[in-house]
Copies of this chain bind each other. A is one copy, B any other.
């Protein structure tokens, strides 16, 4: 048996009586750590909304961190492609990293299309009760496609992109998201306040 395998196998891992606990970290920060998971089509506004919310939280003195394609796909997950196996591994790692950040006491925001119900539920089960807050940015496909900020829908329609969510790959809408943003008349500022209200009402802030 290898050394580390033995370490992994059981209770030989030392218990450190003086470790700073999750509750102590969170206490220092006056907030209840959680993962705010923004899901929705490309162009639905997930990243913009997450950024805006993060800034509002920062102004309130809350300690946050935003995980998105920019800092995950180019760093930790840059070895992964877009096969089914790699997609699952991508989501698994994001879930594990979010778990570490929650353990560190932060409010984590994550903005990923994450089209599959099973993937999102996997992350929910990786976390403790009440730590996963699914935010469904429910913008109709025609709106997202008309915006098309990165020109991706155009490429997908021309067949230059394969497996593009909403065009030739499915998006499985959440069954019971904690927050469902579906009012097309609500602007981004209002959506942000809706999320803040949820966080206050449920004791996260």
Chain A residues within CB distance 8 Å of chain B = 1-20, 24-25, 28-29, 45, 47-49, 51-52, 54-55, 58, 61, 63-67, 69-71, 73-76, 79, 82, 89, 93, 96-97, 99-101, 103-106, 140, 142-143, 146-147, 149-152, 155-156, 160-164, 184-189
Q: Which residues of B contact A101 (CB under 8 A)?
A: 100-101, 104
* A188 and B58 in contact, given A93-B76, A142-B3 (Cβ under 8 angstroms): no
Q: Are B97 and A76 in contact (CB under 8 A)?
A: yes
Could you tell me the distance between the alpha carbons of A150 and B185 in the complex, rounded to whole angstroms?
Answer: 62
Q: Are A19 and B161 in contact (CB under 8 A)?
A: no
Given A16-B51, A17-B47, A55-B18, check contact A10 B187 (CB 8 Å).
Answer: yes
